[in-house]
Chain A
Amino acid sequence: MFLINCPYCGERDQQEFKAGGEAHIERPKQPTELSDDEWAEYLFMRKNIKGVQFERWNHAHGCRKWFNMVRDTSNDEIKAIYKMGEKPPAQ
């Protein structure tokens, strides 16, 4: 059970949060211009890395804000947390 430092509320228990999958997958601005394959790439393809992964998290039972997290999935170490729209830290 990890502690997550919500960028809006501070440290809270993991129970208050919801994981939202891989981060930095932008919804295409012009979906109609995409081929089936390109659209499928956006729609279905997600990484599941053992190691450092960029993820979206939501403080679902708190401020309801979405933010990004860099987490090492092999040991659950949270390496960084930053707001939506902010640049990911250099790795």
Chain B
Amino acid sequence: MTKTLRVKSSEYIDETNRISFKFNGKTYHGFKGDTLASALLANDVHLVGRSFKYHRPRGIMTSGSEEPNAIVQVNPGTNRTEPNVRATEVEIYEGLEASSQNCWPSVEFDIGGINNFLSPFFPAGFYYKTFMWPASFWEKYEFFIRHSAGLGKSPTSSDPDIYDHRNIHCDVLVVGAGISGILAAKIAAKKNFKTLLVDEKNELGGSTIFENNEFNKIDNKTPSEWLKKEIEELKNIKNLEIKTRTSVAAYHQYNYLLARENLTDHLEAKDKTNKIRQRLLKIRAKKVILATGALERPLIFNNNDRPGIMLSSAVKKYSEFYGVACGSKNVFFTNNDSAYESALSLYNKGINVEAIIDIREQSESKIVKKVKEAGIKIYWSHSIVDTAGYKRLNSVSIMQLSNDGSSVTGSKISISCDCLGIAGGWTPAVHLYTQSGSKLKFDEEKKVFVPNQNTSEQISVGSCGGDFKIDEIIKNLNHKLKDTLNIKGTDLDNIKVEIDQENSKRNIWLLPSDKPLGKTKPFVDYQNDATAKDIKLALREGFRSIEHVKRYTTTGMGTDQGKLGNMHALGIIADTAGVKMGELGTTTFRPPYTPLTFGTIVGRNVGKFFDIFRRTSMNDWHVENKAEFENVGQWKRAWYYPINGETMHQAVQRESKAARESAGILDASTLGKIDIQGSDASEFLNRVYTNAWSKLAIGKCRYGLMLNEDGMVYDDGVTTRLGENHYIMTTTTGGAANVLGKLEDYLQTEWPELDVYLTSVTDHYATVSLCGPNSKKILKKIILDLDLSDENFPHMSFKESKIGNIQCRIMRISFTGEHSYEINVQASYGKDLWEKCMEAGQEFNITPYGTETMHLLRAEKGFIIVGQDTDGTMTPIDLQMDWIVSKKKYDFIGKRSLYRSDTMREDRKQLVGLLTDDPNIVLEEGAQIVSELNQSPVEMLGHVTSSYFSPNLKKSIALAVVRGGKDMMGKKLFVPMENKNINVTVASPVFYDEKNERLNA
């Protein structure tokens, strides 16, 4: 039977709007304005999960995004399910379902809880130490670990929601809408700075909005009253955009921040449809004002993790903001005055506060006096040494603290309670600050890390900047704002602030118990079940760096990144190792501050792979004619054209035969094309290619090989001289962009004196390659007015002409070894040209062929493909292409490297042909080549780079790179495969028409 602990109507809770929701299958009720956590607490539900390692029962610990325990699966079993959501951040709506994680079969009875009783056997590094041995047992261990571990389940069906990205540019970004953030945003906007204010909560005001210390006053009003008036005024300010439910996840250099804006998570399912769920804001801010506040610290004592043990500030927020009492018998445990505010909040609503246990000797502030007057028992100089209650706290045991705080004395007192609020002081939320690259320093007096060196235009104001008292906050805020915004008078100049006197706190990182440390469980990281004992063990075992201790103990490595306990971990290490905390440094806070959904990260870029497809202008024809396509870079290229259910092999054999016997047609539009102009164009080509270009006549074409400065082949292609100072270069399809980039680099940085202009014209031309013994007859049928005789239009030359009305550039060049033409037209005429060629070629059985046949045909001729037969380690000499390397030229890119001792080695891998002894066996590309079979280990001489069954030669052919292969002509080698060894013979890489007679056929 659940009881309701709703104690008072709150202006943030709409009691007329009753909402039902399910938690672990059971129906509960809450009100509009509740979070899942506040609604569960109102129903007296504290037990919400099991811890990661020991499966200990855990309850709601906080009221915000720092929550380590209340991690739930939202809407389980639906396509909107989401794991690892903090119950403290889920706003309830009608129909919400949530369930606990990391428990089986249920949170009430969890089989993994047995780990808790075995815990002496689960020390730090347990997994590393235990499951390492014996190695063969790993699979069994893994099964066990995976079954019992795991945080939540990812959805199995596709996400129904829409996500979005938005770029925002602003003068001032204010992160956090507590009192500091609101005042900063207001002042900035009023001074005409374009300002954006974001806060992760759904209401503005931070913790000041439920501040209840009556001894603090701003302009004679309570801070909460005063702030509400300020918030009201924000509505009328221009230049100010406010985004609630917006959490900044990452703060990168140059004030570039990523934030997640949550738009529909708080809505009922019916209202979520067709709306943007979350939006990733990409914010570029001229100045950033961090007002991220502070997180309350827990205290580290024995069994400090039972359901019912919460942060004191959370108890106050649930009481003041949500109107919920977290227990009916409350105790507070503190080292400072803030727990007294929480105690009074409950007391004022008629809720029982049993006692306050304070590790300090005394405090003289007005609020402490008020608590005394209320008759609440205060135990000064006492500490909690143990707690009891398995699924819910039922009592705490306290003892007198020794003067030095290292031990406890006297007799043990037990206090019965169902809720314990713990207050260990405040830690500035500097996570985003450090993400930006800025550096912290340790304030030994306040025991906090505070901003020190800013790397970008930013300030930290309020408690994240180390100011905790309202008078300090307003004074420093005013000063910092004037400074950073370069403004004079502000609204804050004449504000009158009164504050309660605050006594300093007493800081003890690890509180003593009457039992030795080995027998206690003081949790430092709740989510990862790391205790103070684990940290000390790590230090004993020799770990010193905070980063190593973190990884060894897993402290701070949960989904909450240890927001609560990191400071204590540092403190315990510092105390144990006898070093100052400032010297220890902190671990790195990495983005995201709170987890992001994948949907938010990808935004609209869902569905098909978000990369550009490039298609030629003949693409529709290829599709209509059932071509199969392959990706070459971003291009979709026709691969082969199967007819009547042909396999790829059958189609390629047919296409290859047809191209040599009559006529073939290839879409070569994807080849890179660079237009080169300028009075130094010839000199430029001389420097970038290995061969000489100055004497190339206008109207002639030449093949060129381009090297990297290290002498390795980089690209190849045919370049044509169109005019005195005008060339057109072709590059490989995949290399086009890189070649242009490289050439631009040399022109701009090494040879700025050259008068050369480069323009990419790849997309401007469509190219049809017409090849085979009948190609000339076909071209003759469609070309107007051009003498195609070998005398007028020989191999490696260029003509301009017209086909129909289409102006075209025709190069008589060949990549197949056949008589062939590359016809270039303005891209939009590509399909028209293709169809004209097809029509004219019909009587010659013209056969369209794709890239696979092109590869086969060139392999028959031993022509290389850069990137297939080369891999960035092949020089032209390795490729047996010495003929293309000019001996006369003084310099070209890569020339000097060809004479390095390494590139001149005789035993480099060199390109050769391979013939299989059995002509029907086709080698696998990539297969290794050896010279010995009965030797182990065997030296691998090289590998197969290209391999095909040649229908024209009626045998298998291959290109390969083989160590010292040049001198191995005729040598028998072996290609060992899984089930057999294939006998091969080294041959010339030119298999077909060695004398190039077919070019002029």
Contact = CB atoms under 8 A, between A and B. Distances in A.
Contacts of B241: none
A85 B710 CA distance: 24
A39 B254 contact: no
Q: Which of B256, B741, B748 is the most central at the interface, judged by chain A CB atoms within 10 Å of its CB?
A: B748
Contact of A27 (B748, B750, B899): B750
B749 A1 contact: no
A58 B896 contact: no
Contacts of A32: 890-891, 895-896, 899
Contact of B744 (A3, A27, A64, A75): A64
Contacts of A64: 741, 744
A41 interface: no
Interface in B888-947: 890-891, 895-897, 899-901
B709 interface: yes
Nearest to B891: A31
A27 B750 CA distance: 7
A40 interface: yes
B745 A58 contact: yes
12 contacts: A1-B252, A1-B253, A2-B254, A3-B284, A18-B741, A26-B750, A31-B896, A34-B896, A60-B741, A64-B744, A66-B749, A77-B455
Interface in A28-44: 28, 30-32, 34, 36, 39-40, 43
A2 B252 CA distance: 8
Given A31-B891, A32-B895, A76-B437, A3 B749 contact: no
Contacts of B253: 1-2, 75-76
B752 interface: yes
A30 B256 CA distance: 46
A2 B256 CA distance: 8
Interface residues of A, number: 27
Interface in B567-617: none
Interface in B195-240: none
Interface string B724-754: 0000000000000000010011001110100
Nearest to A27: B750
Interface string A59-91: 010001110000000011100000011000000
Contacts of B748: 65-66, 84
Contacts of A27: 709, 750
Interface of B: 252-254, 256, 284, 437, 455, 709-710, 741, 744-745, 748-750, 752, 890-891, 895-897, 899-901
A26 B746 CA distance: 11
B897 A58 contact: no
A1 B709 contact: no
Interface of A: 1-3, 18, 20, 26-28, 30-32, 34, 36, 39-40, 43, 56, 58, 60, 64-66, 75-77, 84-85
Contacts of B900: 36, 39-40
B531 to A, nearest CB: 36
Contacts of B890: 32
A85 B741 contact: no
Nearest to B892: A31
A66 to B, nearest CB: 5
Contacts of A40: 900
A58 B895 contact: no
Given A32-B895, A43-B897, A84 B749 contact: yes
Contact of B254 (A1, A20, A60): A1
Contacts of A31: 891, 895-896
B896 A39 contact: yes
Given A39-B896, A43-B897, A85 B752 contact: yes
Name the 4 nearest CB pairs between A and B, nearest first: A31-B896, A2-B254, A66-B748, A76-B253
A43 B455 CA distance: 35
A30 B891 CA distance: 8
Nearest to B284: A3
A48 B687 CA distance: 30
Contacts of A30: 891
A48 to B, nearest CB: 19
B129 to A, nearest CB: 35
Contact of A20 (B437, B745, B899): B745
Nearest to B744: A64
B453 to A, nearest CB: 10
A84 B897 CA distance: 26
A56 to B, nearest CB: 7
Nearest to B900: A36
A30 B253 CA distance: 42
A1 to B, nearest CB: 5
A43 B710 contact: yes
A31 B889 CA distance: 12
Nearest to A38: B896
Contacts of A60: 741
B287 to A, nearest CB: 14
Contacts of A20: 745
Contacts of A56: 749
A28 B750 CA distance: 10
A66 B897 contact: no
Nearest to B747: A66
Contacts of A84: 748-749, 752
A77 B456 CA distance: 9
A26 B750 CA distance: 7
A32 B897 CA distance: 9
Contacts of B896: 28, 31-32, 34, 39
A42 to B, nearest CB: 8
A13 B304 CA distance: 48
Contact of B256 (A1, A36, A65, A75): A1
A28 B895 CA distance: 12
Nearest to B250: A1
Nearest to B902: A36
B744 A66 contact: yes
Contact of B901 (A18, A36, A66): A36
A36 B710 CA distance: 12
Nearest to A60: B741
Nearest to B436: A75
B654 to A, nearest CB: 43
Contacts of A36: 900-901
Contacts of B437: 75-76
Nearest to B253: A76
Nearest to B453: A75
Given A1-B256, A39-B896, A84-B748, 15 more contacts: A2-B253, A2-B256, A3-B254, A27-B750, A31-B891, A32-B890, A32-B896, A34-B896, A39-B897, A39-B900, A40-B900, A66-B748, A66-B749, A77-B455, A85-B752
A47 B900 CA distance: 23
A36 B253 CA distance: 42
A69 to B, nearest CB: 13
Nearest to A3: B254
Contacts of A18: 741
A66 B745 contact: yes
A65 B750 CA distance: 13
Contacts of A3: 254, 256, 284
A27 B897 CA distance: 13
A48 B955 CA distance: 53
B752 A58 contact: no
